[in-house]
Chain A
């Protein structure tokens, strides 16, 4: 046990406990999914009792919630927002559109799989996912954080070339600096 490199130390344990119980969420309402979030956060389903709370800017946020389809135009903004967030950071893909394109599967202008462009920790499927599934997605993310497995940001840094290549494939006239954290 003492020689296990992957075991969590007591500091990791405390950090993961605070991280999973205090998620500041930046809801990027790209598509129709944004309408489920007021219900999730207000009186009926009350995500604040689980420690999930809205953040106003990317600098303060831990969790980026991509609600719905992403056109190539909004993908630029999402990449910018994701890179402005500070470590540790997590991404939840919300709805079928982020998994396989959903009802926009044959659109010329939307991306089909979000994980090719920014690393997604948890997917919530459905069209639309109800607030119960959103909360279950939060709980799944919490389970991953507690186990130390929500390491999307690390994956993004290690495989930055691969992600950049994919991003540049859909974004002609690359508008951003190479990395703007």
Chain B
């Protein structure tokens, strides 16, 4: 009974932690962009104000059932994949379901939110949504391949598909996997640039081209739900990368430092880059990241 209570409270605490950290990282993203453009920028808690306002807006649009379900799918997928990622290497509070889900399941689960959102956006009937969805799915085909190749390389090299198993490998050998298999790390980091959809890969929600793409018909509470889901999912991706490549984190301070350092890679790469076209983005992923993925598999095999 007591363990079940701790698990439920721990799950709630994990969601809250992911939401707060993701929101602050979003604020830091806006602040970094502003400082590089020599502006003052919004306060770092600006995203909390935005989300609160969006949740307090009225919504009186109805395009059908899937339009209401799309944001729900997105937030469900974010929270589900959050539950399967080990947040801390030890301690009871944040060990949600990470013993029962492996890397293959997680790679599958991380796509689910985008697919749900694509269904929701498809029902709104807005042509910009349709273009945004096709762009998003094409980009997903681009970055999923090097990402999966990097993961397969790690799985074959260390003979485990479990994330906790990979953390255990790193704790035993004493070196992080980003040094044990650097090519897999490079392929995965380049795939992560696409996963975050920041510039130059923000072709899905390009406001000037497709007027924010899939979310163009979603305002108010739906937009708030998507912002919530996006910040939780950003934390999921960062925590996953920290677990796999950087040896996990033993407490929250280390976790925040490591995830923030990792988060700055797509942010800083983005602020100095203009937007790619769709085919440029896909060919980007199918050149060097794919090459590094092949090298990583060869490195793991021999």
Contacts and interface: CB of A to CB of B under 8 A. Distances in A.
Interface of A: 14-15, 17-19, 21-22, 42-43, 46, 48-49, 51, 53-54, 56-62, 85-88, 181
Contacts of A18: 49, 52-53, 56
Contact of A57 (B43, B60, B217): B217
Contacts of B43: 49
Nearest to B50: A22
Nearest to B215: A60
A174 B174 CA distance: 74
A65 B42 CA distance: 21
A60 B219 contact: yes
Interface string B91-129: 000000000000000000000000000000000000010
Interface residues of B, number: 31
A59 B53 CA distance: 14
A57 B222 CA distance: 14
A88 to B, nearest CB: 7
B41 interface: yes
Contacts of B61: 59, 86
Contacts of A15: 53, 56
Given A18-B53, A46-B34, A57-B219, 6 more contacts: A14-B52, A19-B53, A49-B40, A56-B216, A86-B219, A87-B57
B42 A49 contact: yes
Pick from A18, A46, A49, A59 the residue with the most CB of B within 10 Å.
Answer: A59
Interface in B53-105: 53, 56-61
A181 B207 contact: no
B37 interface: yes
Interface string B201-215: 000000100011001
B3 interface: no
19 contacts: A19-B53, A19-B56, A21-B49, A22-B50, A22-B53, A48-B41, A48-B42, A56-B211, A57-B211, A57-B212, A57-B219, A60-B212, A60-B216, A60-B218, A86-B57, A86-B58, A86-B219, A87-B60, A88-B58
